[in-house]
Structure 1
C-alpha cells in the first residue's frame, strides 16, 4: 500500500476498507467472546494479518479491548487479563506510521475506558502470512480483512507463455489462489490455540446479475492500462479449500456483506450526482492500494495519466451504484 500520509496514501484513502471492517464488527466481537468464554486466557494473544497502516489499523484491537473489558470486569479473578497484539504485514509496510500513532491511541483508550482498561501491548510482526509467523499454538485470535485476495506471487506460467488466452490465465490465477489459501490455512492451524478463532473478510464474487464481479472495478483499470487480470473466489471455492481435513479447520460461521464502490454514496448530499468528482474520489482509494504494483514499471507521469483516465472510466459506472461482495468467515480448529 502507499505509505505515509500524503493525498494518495492508504492512510487517507481506506474508508472503503474501514466500512467493511465495521460491518463485520458484530461477527468479530462474537468470535472474541466465544474464545474468551471458552478459554478465559489471562494473556489474550491476537494478530491482525495484513494490517497495513493508518486509522483502520487500530479498529480490531479496539474491538478486542472492548470485549475483554466488558467480559472480565464482572468476574472475580485474582489477576486481570492482558492483551498481546501483533500487527503483521510485509516488511515494506509503513510500520513507522503505526507506532507513531500508538501514544495517541493509548491516550484515546484511556479516555474512553477510564483508568481500569485492560492492559495491552503491541508489537510488529513483519513478514508474509504465507510463511510461519508465530510459535506453535500461541495465538488465540487471528483477524484479516481484505488481505487474502493478494497472491504470494504472479502465477509462474503466466509470464512463461505469451500465447495463453484470457481463460487460461484466469485459471492460473485461480489455481494460485487455491495454493496460497491452502498454505495460509495450514500455517495458521499450527499457530492457533485449540479453542481459538480466526475471522477472515475476503472480497469475493457471486453468480448473481445484481452484483458486478467485485474486481470488475479493477478490470476497468485494465481499459486504461490494457493489461490487468484479476480473479477472486466464490464462497463455494473457499468452502472447498477449508473443508480439506488436512488444514484442520472447519467453517463455524459465514456471512455475505456488500459495500459500495463509493464510500460516500449516502453522504454526499449536494454532490450526489457529481459523478466526475465522485469518480476522482473513488479512484484515490484504488490508487492507494495498487500504485505500488505499478511503480516498478512506469514513471510518475505515466501513473498519473493512468489514474486520470481510470477516473473518467469509473465515473461512467457510478450511477449504477455498483457494490463489492465480501465474505466474512469464522474458522475454528477441528
Structure 2
C-alpha cells in the first residue's frame, strides 16, 4: 500500500475542519444537525428507559465522535432535558447529577467546544432555572476502536455519523490490482465488519447493564446508488480524474480519494450485531432519509439555483474530508478539486437525491449481566 498515509496516521488526520471559518464543520454541519433532530424522539426515549430502570444518582453519558460546533451540544441538551424532567416528575429522593464525556480523535477541535461551554451553561441556566440538574462536561480524546472508559461505568452511549469512519483504509485497496469497484467495496465491507465488531465489544465492557447505546449511521440501500453517501463521496474521484487528465494532478493521486469511510447496509449491521458471540441485541431500528442538499426544505419555494446549492452541499463534504487531503495537495489544488466537485454534484440535485440513515438502539445481552457480577 506504499506509504499508507491514511492507514498509518488515521488517528492524527481524521477530523472535521475546525474553527469557525467558511469551510469549518461548525458552519457546515446542517445535514448532520437535521438527522440528530429527526432521531431526537428515539434518543430521548432510550434515556428515559435507562433512568426509569436504574435511577442512577449520577447519570453518565458519552458522546462518541462529538466533533466540534453547535451539533456537539444538541444531544447534551437532550440528555439534560430528559433527566431534568424525570428527576422532578418522579420525585427522586436523591439529588441527580449528570456527567457527560465528549469523545473524538485527538485532532478534533476540542478547544472550540470548551470555549463555547460557558455560554452554553449560561443558556441552560436561563432555560431551566436555578434548580436545573447539575451537569459536568469533560473531554475524552481517543479512538473509539480502543477502550475509553472504566468497566461498567457508562449508562448511555450516543454517536451520530461516526461509525462510518473506519480505523484505517482497507489493506490492499490502493493497489492497482484492486481497482475493480466491486472488489474494493468488498474490502471496505470486511474492514467495517472488523471495526464495528471491535467497537461493540469494547462498548459492551464499558456500558452498565440496563444502559443503552444509540447509534445513527449513514447507510446504504443496495438497489439505489443515490441513497448512499459513499456514492456521493465517490463522485469526488470524477473531479480528480478531470484534473489528472489536464495534468493538474498525478495519476498516483487517485489513492488520495480512498478515504477510511464506509456506509453499510442494514443487513450488514444486523449480521454483525446478531453474530453468535455478539455482545448486544438490536432493541429498535428506524430508517431516516436526508437530502444531499442541506437546504432543500428551506429552498423549495425559491428558484432552483442548483449551482449555488451544489456549492453549499460540497462545503459540507469539504468540512469532513479536507484534512484527509492536506497531506496530498496544496490549498489551491484542493479548492480547484472541490470547485469541480460542486459542478458534478449540481448535475444530480434536480433529482432531489437522498441517502439513508439507520438509527439503532442497542442493549446488552443477558449473558453480559452475568459477566458483570
- With the shorter chain as reference, the TM-score category is over 0.9
Q: What secondary structure, in the 3-state scheme, does the structure 2 residue paired with 1:84 have?
A: strand
1:75-130: CA deviation from partner (whole Å, max 9, x where unpaired): 33332110000000000000000000000000110111111111000000000000
Q: Is the 8 A contact 1:243 1:250 kept in 2?
A: yes
Q: What secondary structure, in the 3-state scheme, does the structure 1 residue paired with 2:20 have?
A: coil
Distance 1:163 1:132, change over 3 A: closer
1:230-256: CA deviation from partner (whole Å, max 9, x where unpaired): 992110110000012423100000000
Tell me the equivalent position of 1:73. Answer: 88
Quick check: 236-245 or 180-189, which moved more? 236-245
CA distance in 1, matches of 2:54, 2:273: 24
1:264-308: CA deviation from partner (whole Å, max 9, x where unpaired): 112126644111111111111010001011010011110000000
Q: Is the 8 A contact 1:249 1:333 kept in 2?
A: no
Quick check: 112-121 or 152-161, which moved more? 152-161
Q: Is the 8 A contact 2:172 2:178 kept in 1?
A: no
CA positional deviation for 1:215: 1.9
Distance 1:180 1:209, change over 3 A: closer
CA distance in 1, matches of 2:357, 2:100: 25
Which stretches in structure 1 are left out of the alignment for 5+ residues?
none
Distance 1:84 1:258, change over 3 A: same
TM-score by length of 1: 0.95
Distance 1:134 1:241, change over 3 A: same
CA distance in 2, matches of 1:290, 1:34: 36
Tell me the equivalent position of 1:173. Answer: 188
Distance 1:230 1:75, change over 3 A: farther
Q: What secondary structure, in the 3-state scheme, does the structure 1 residue paired with 2:229 have?
A: coil
Q: Is the 8 A contact 1:195 1:332 kept in 2?
A: no
CA positional deviation for 1:324: 1.4
Distance 1:210 1:183, change over 3 A: closer
CA positional deviation for 1:31: 0.3
CA distance in 1, matches of 2:235, 2:194: 27
CA positional deviation for 1:180: 0.3
Quick check: 262-271 or 147-156, which moved more? 262-271
Distance 1:146 1:285, change over 3 A: same
TM-score by length of 2: 0.85
Distance 1:168 1:208, change over 3 A: closer
Which stretches in structure 2 are left out of the alignment for 5+ residues?
1-15, 247-262, 362-369
CA positional deviation for 1:220: 1.3
CA distance in 2, matches of 1:130, 1:123: 19
CA distance in 2, matches of 1:285, 1:170: 24
